[in-house]
């Protein structure tokens, strides 16, 4: 009999609880626990990622209407719920909350990093009620570099981190604990310190001179960053000549023209990066090639005989280093060397009358053009030998009482001499 009475009593109590308390559950992945002795509470939820607990003795209301935070009211000491969202990076993170020890949960928000320099940064955030401030930071999520803190109970928090490495990515988390011992910790967030100003000049390397000729050359070098191209050069360390190439590059070339053959030149190179950091090489030297190229041949070389004389005419070459023509006369055959035979003429002219000849003798002439570097008076002249010659024995015309040349075919020979 008594057993029936207890069973009916329990059923009546349960019916009373259900009828007095409404519970709305719109999520498939949260936990709702309500105490049967609390007859005045109402619990509603539209969140998909929170947990809600209540126990005996409270008449409060707990409501959650967000997918990433919790709001609590009137819960028993000792029960707790925490929820957080993924943290931000590059200067901020999301908030989080915690509850325990009988106090309200601590809600973190507005986590930002400001005033980032090469070696410092300021981390700021807010809490929904007064709590202290604590930051851990480091190169990784182990946050091994250090901590900063402030025990003051505040709702607006700001801590300065110093002694950082320039141009470096840092991870950090913030924690706030209220006077009841309730704390909340943010998710991981990151920031990067600024890089130091570039005061390092380019590194110049591999300086070289290529494509050297008698009058030209190319100066080249490399740099480890994009930089300008500037060359100074001359026949002494006073230099005196120079030039530059447009643009910034790591591979530099600068052509030189109008140089003097067989000459030693001094030079140095300069490169500056986009910030004006400048590097200059030491003095370097190179020599142009010696002049081994003779001028072109004389042309239209002719000889006209007369009475004890021969009139010679020619056209000089147009080479810039042409210095003159040397005429050689022989009677034993064509000249084969500008230093062997009788010198008839040396100069830049284009005609010569060879006098004091003997009528009836055959004469051979050769014309040699030479440049300014190696005149034919040297033992080993660098000349081009153009050998034109005309043979003409002279005889006396008894009827006309004057000398004339026999008509003989013109002979021509040319020889290039090193």
Question: pLDDT (tens digit, 9 = 90+) per residue, 124-164?
Answer: 999 999 999 999 999 999 999 999 999 999 999 999 999 99
Where are the alpha helices (H) located in 303-381, listed in sequence order? none
Question: pLDDT tens-digit profile of 165-174?
Answer: 999 999 999 9
CB within 8 A of 85, min separation 6: which ones? Answer: 68, 69, 94, 95, 96, 187
Which residues, 6 or more positions from 377, have their beta carbon under 8 angstroms from its beta carbon? 339
Q: Which of 132, 48, 50, 47 is nearest to 84 (CA)?
A: 50
pLDDT score of 42: 45
Model confidence at 90: pLDDT above 70: no
Confidence tier at 413 by pLDDT (50, 70, 90): very low
Report how far residue 267's alpha carbon sits from residue 240's, in angstroms, rounded to the nearest whole number.
10
15-29, 57-71, 321-335: segment of lowest average pLDDT? 15-29
Average pLDDT, stretch 241-249?
Answer: 96
Checking if the pLDDT of 247 tops 90, the result is yes
Cβ atoms of residues 202 and 269 within 8 Å: no
pLDDT in tens, 298-326: 888 888 888 898 899 999 998 888 889 99
Label the pairing between strands 42-45 and 61-64: parallel
Max avg pLDDT among 239-253, 318-332, 350-364: 239-253
Percent of the chain with pLDDT over 70: 64
More confident residue, 235 or 377: 235
User: What confidence score (pLDDT) does residue 291 get?
Assistant: 80
Phi, psi of 6 (to 5 degrees): -65, -40
Residue 201: pLDDT above 60?
Answer: yes
Q: Across the chain, what does the average pLDDT equal?
A: 74
What pLDDT shows up at residue 376? 53
Higher pLDDT, 114 or 392: 114
What is the mean pLDDT of the segment spanning 238-244? 96
pLDDT confidence of residue 93: 52
**Domains of the chain (ranges, CATH numbers):** 2-64 (no CATH), 83-192 (2.60.40.10), 204-287 (2.60.40.10), 299-416 (2.60.40.10)
In this predicted structure, what is the pLDDT of residue 96?
53
Nearest to 382 by CA among 338, 320, 330: 338
CA angle 345, 306, 395 (to 5 degrees): 125
- Residue-wise pLDDT for 352-410, tens only, equals 999 999 888 888 888 888 887 765 543 333 333 333 334 444 433 332 222 223 333 33
* Lowest-confidence pick of 202-206, 341-345, 397-401: 397-401
Higher pLDDT residue, 392 or 214?
214
Dump strand ranges (E) for 9-120.
31-33, 42-45, 51-53, 61-64, 83-84, 92-93, 96-98, 106-114
Nearest to 64 by CA among 36, 25, 16: 25
């Amino acid at each position: 009999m008594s057993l029936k009475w207890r069973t009916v009593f329990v059923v009546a109590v349960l019916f009373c609880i259900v009828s007095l308390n409404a519970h709305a559950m719109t999520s498939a992945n949260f936990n709702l626990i309500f105490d049967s002795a609390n007859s005045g509470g109402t619990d509603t939820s539209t969140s998909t990622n929170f947990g809600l607990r209540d126990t005996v003795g409270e008449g409060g209301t707990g409501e959650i209407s967000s997918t990433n935070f919790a709001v609590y009211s009137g819960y028993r000491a000792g029960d707790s719920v925490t929820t957080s969202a993924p943290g931000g990076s590059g200067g901020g993170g999301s908030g989080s909350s915690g509850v325990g020890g009988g106090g309200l949960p601590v809600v973190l928000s507005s986590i930002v990093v400001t005033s980032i320099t090469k070696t410092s940064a300021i981390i700021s955030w807010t809490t929904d009620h007064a709590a202290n401030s604590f930051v851990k930071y480091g190169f990784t999520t182990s946050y091994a570099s250090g901590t900063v803190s402030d025990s003051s109970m505040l709702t607006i928090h700001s801590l300065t981190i110093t002694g950082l490495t320039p141009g470096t990515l840092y991870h950090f988390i913030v924690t706030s604990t209220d006077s009841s011992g309730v704390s909340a910790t943010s998710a991981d967030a990151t920031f990067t310190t600024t890089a130091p100003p570039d005061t390092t000049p380019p590194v110049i390397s591999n300086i070289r001179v290529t494509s050297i000729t008698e009058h030209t050359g190319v100066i080249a070098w490399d740099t480890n960053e994009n930089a300008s191209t500037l060359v100074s050069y001359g026949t002494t360390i006073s230099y005196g000549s120079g030039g530059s190439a447009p643009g910034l590059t790591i591979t530099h070339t600068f052509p030189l023209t109008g140089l003097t053959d067989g000459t030693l030149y001094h030079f140095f190179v300069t490169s500056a990066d986009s910030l004006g950091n400048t590097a200059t090489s030491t003095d370097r030297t190179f020599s142009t090639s010696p002049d081994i190229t003779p001028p072109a041949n004389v042309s239209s070389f002719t000889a006209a005989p007369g009475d004890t004389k021969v009139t010679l005419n020619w056209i000089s070459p147009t080479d810039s280093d042409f210095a003159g023509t040397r005429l050689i006369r022989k009677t034993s055959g064509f000249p084969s060397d500008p230093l062997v035979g009788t010198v008839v003429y040396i100069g830049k002219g284009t005609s010569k009358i060879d006098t004091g000849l003997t009528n009836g003798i055959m004469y051979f002439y050769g014309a040699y053009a030479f440049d300014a570097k190696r005149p034919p008076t040297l033992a080993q002249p660098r000349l081009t030998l153009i050998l034109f010659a005309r043979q003409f024995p002279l005889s006396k015309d008894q009827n006309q009482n004057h000398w004339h040349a026999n008509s003989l075919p013109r002979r021509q020979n040319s020889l290039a001499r090193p």
